[in-house]
Amino acid sequence: MSVFYIGSIPNPIKRDELPEHRGDTQNGELMFWAGGCASCHAQVDADGDEQLLLSGGLEMLTPFGIFVVPNISPDTEFGIGAWTNLNFVNAMTRGLSPDNKHYYPAFPYTNYQHMTLEDLLDLKAFLDTLPSSSDDAADHQLAFHYSIRRGLGLWKRKYLKREMPALNDPSTPELERGRYLVRGPAHCGACHTPRDSFGGVIANKFLAGAESLEIEPGANMDSASRIPNITPHEDGISSWSESDIAYSLESGFNPDFDSFGGSMVHVQENMAQLPSEDRAAIAAYLKSIPAIPSDQN
Amino acid sequence: MKKSFLAAVIALAVAAPAYFAFAADDFAFKSQIEGRQAFMQLYRFNISILGGMARGDVEYDAAAASAAANNLLVASKMDNGAMWPMGSHTEAPGLADVTAAKETAWSSYPNIAEKGKDLTEALTTMAAVAGDGLEPLRSNMGAVGNGCKGCHKNYRLSRD
């Protein structure tokens, strides 16, 4: 029991670890789109400026139970308007609430932890400019053994790792930017990398495709979809050129001119808001990662 | 109770991979589902002509662009209701691996019909300008793409 107690203790960032940094809302907006915040925190059918109202409430159906996405608008009571920069950074990089409780990793902090503190402070500054909502999102409804938050401390010890895999030699600033976006804010691996039975991503199958853990809004529990392999393997996107990848993220058309569907449309529309150099960097990085076959089952 | 939960989790873990493992030869609404998939292929073929020019992979050809855009416009005005019978969605028994159309396409009707009108509107503009030069074609590709995604975003599964 004491092993559980010690192993699950939260490990927040301390105040003196925060850099002196004035939030840049322009870069914060770029991080907002790269991070896909609106895809979960706005209303499911939000369009245009409606995507900036991050009132939460979306129910994510998963095998662990139902996760209800929280309100992260600047409302001081129901949103995160009362949060300090330190609160925000701890949520994004350590998966901790202001009162030091563990968040469930349906919130992709295992990816956001790779973001620089400066980018996170810029994102916070941008979120502070968005409209408030006083919607009170419901609590998660999880199976009993998943409902003990403290257990997540142990989960984090195994899965909340900050190391980024090395780039192929020779590295370039474009590849580094691509790795940062893919591994960090854009959290591609949250869906495209398969997970083990504890819900942790399987690192040596990075982006090799997965069964979706989330049942898409409006669908039922029997309709989990297969998330494609996006490594340069023939099971993945080996036939796509860098230009194909960048164009698909800009336009929503794959090289066969079928359009993306489902939640990838949300992702693509976010990526379309980035500078073209960032989409090119993502494409270059995706072509540089190990080619891994999809699981044959 | 605990055992039955565990059994359900195991069943899910075992059944999920089987989900795409094979394509059934026979399934409910076969002709309608194959019909609408062929119809989508018709769209894709014509959009690829416009898209190839827009991306610079193929040299701009006013007559070819115009013909493709007009085909798309005509296609978008067809009454294909018979291809979309109630119950022919991916959550229906036996249809998970043959169609990606979600049940919400039907349950939220007529939203999808409104999205269809948006596509026709985008294609009306494209058909009017596709023969006028590469620039107008390029600048209208986004609207056509949005027309496709209008339905695919909420009414089709992510799988591609």
The string of pLDDT tens digits covering residues B69-81 is 999 999 999 999 9
Task: Report the pLDDT value the prediction gives residue B1, as an integer from 0 to 100.
Answer: 40
Chain B interface test: which of A44, A62, A192, A265 (most B C-beta within 10 Å): A265
- What average pLDDT does this structure show over A19-41? 97
pLDDT in the model for residue B18? 42
Report the alpha-carbon distance of residue B73 to residue B89 in Å, rounded. Answer: 26
Question: Given pLDDT bands bounded at 50, 70 and 90, which one contains residue B106?
Answer: very high
Nearest-Cα residue of chain A relative to residue B139: A251
Q: Which of B48, B141, B154 sits opposite A251 (nearest CB)?
A: B141
A264/B158 CB distance under 8 A = yes
Quick one: CA dihedral A175, A180, A181, A186, positive or negative? positive
| Interface contact B160-A263, CB threshold 8 A | no
**DSSP per-residue codes, A59-128:** EEEETTEEEEPPP-SS-TTTSSTT--HHHHHHHHHH-B-TTSPBPPTTS-HHHHTTS-HHHHHHHHHHHT
Interface contact A262-B13, CB threshold 8 A: no
Q: Does A43 touch chain B (CB under 8 A)?
A: no
Distance (Å, whole) CA B48 – CA A244? 13
Give the range among A112-116, A147-151, B18-22 with minimum mean pLDDT: B18-22
Residues A25, A122 contacting (CB under 8 angstroms)? yes
Q: Do B145 and A251 touch (CB under 8 A)?
A: yes
Residues from chain A contacting residue B96 (CB–CB below 8 Å): 222-223
Select from B76, B153, B156 the residue whose CB has the most chain A CBs within 10 Å, as the one to mutate to test that interface: B153
pLDDT (tens digit per residue) in A96-117: 999 999 999 999 999 999 999 9
Distance from CA of A101 to the nearest CA of B (A): 27
Q: How far is A293 from chain B (nearest CA, A)?
A: 15
Stretch A176-201: mean pLDDT: 94
Average confidence score pLDDT of chain B? 87
Q: Which positions in chain A touch B53 (Cβ < 8 Å)?
A: none
pLDDT of residue A1: 58
Q: Determine whether the interchain pair A223/B160 forms a contact, defined as Cβ–Cβ distance below 8 Å.
A: no
pLDDT of residue A123: 98
- Chain B residues in contact with chain A using a Cβ-Cβ cutoff of 8 Å: 5, 9, 12-13, 16-21, 40, 44, 47-48, 51, 55, 90-91, 96, 100, 102-104, 107-108, 141-142, 145-146, 148-149, 152-154, 156-160
pLDDT at residue number A296: 67
**Distance between first and last Cα of chain B:** 38
How many Å apart are CA A108 and CA A60, to the nearest integer?
Answer: 13
* Contact state of A258 with B20 under an 8 Å Cβ cutoff: no
Q: Which residue type is seen at B92?
A: A
State the nearest Cα–Cα gap between A197 and chain B, in angstroms.
Answer: 9
pLDDT value, residue A148: 82
B42-71: pLDDT as tens digits:
999 999 999 999 999 999 999 999 999 999
Asked whether B145 and A259 are in contact (CB, 8 A), the reply is yes
Question: Which has the minimum average pLDDT: A107-111, B22-26, B99-103?
Answer: B22-26
Confidence of residue A223 (pLDDT cuts 50, 70, 90): low
Q: How far is B21 from chain A (nearest CA, A)?
A: 7
Residues in B touching A211 (Cβ below 8 Å): 16-17, 19
Looking at residue B21, what is its pLDDT?
A: 41
Q: What is the ipTM of this complex?
A: 0.78
pTM: 0.88
DSSP conformation letters of chain B: -HHHHHHHHHHHHHHHHHTTT---SS-TTHHHHHHHHHHHHHHHHHHHHHHHHHHTSS---HHHHHHHHHHHHHHHHS--GGGS-TT-STTSTT-TTT--B-THHHHTTTHHHHHHHHHHHHHHHHHHHGGG-HHHHHHHHHHHHHHHHHHHHHHB-S--
Q: Which three-class secondary structure state does DSSP give residue A253?
A: strand
The distance of A127 to chain B (nearest Cα, Å) reads: 25
Q: Which of B14, B149, B151 to mutate to test the interface with A (most CBs of A within 10 A)?
A: B149
The pairs formed by B7-11 with CB atoms below 8 angstroms and a separation of 24 or more are B9/A63
| 3-class SS of residue A210 | strand
Instruction: Compute the distance between CA of residue B47 and CA of residue A203 in angstroms, rounded to an integer.
Output: 38
B chain contacts of residue A236, beta-carbon cutoff 8 Å: none
Q: Quote the minimal CA–CA distance from B65 to chain A in Å.
A: 15
Cis peptide before A63 (omega within 30 of 0): no
Taking CA–CA distances from B138, the nearest residue in chain A reads A251
* Interface size between A and B, measured as CB pairs under 8 A: 110
Cross-strand bridge partners of residue A195: A201
Query: Shortest CB distance from A223 goes to which of B48, B145, B157?
Result: B157
Mean pLDDT across chain A:
91
Predicted local confidence at residue A6, as pLDDT: 72
pLDDT digits (tens, 9 = 90+) for A242-269: 999 999 999 999 999 999 998 899 999 9
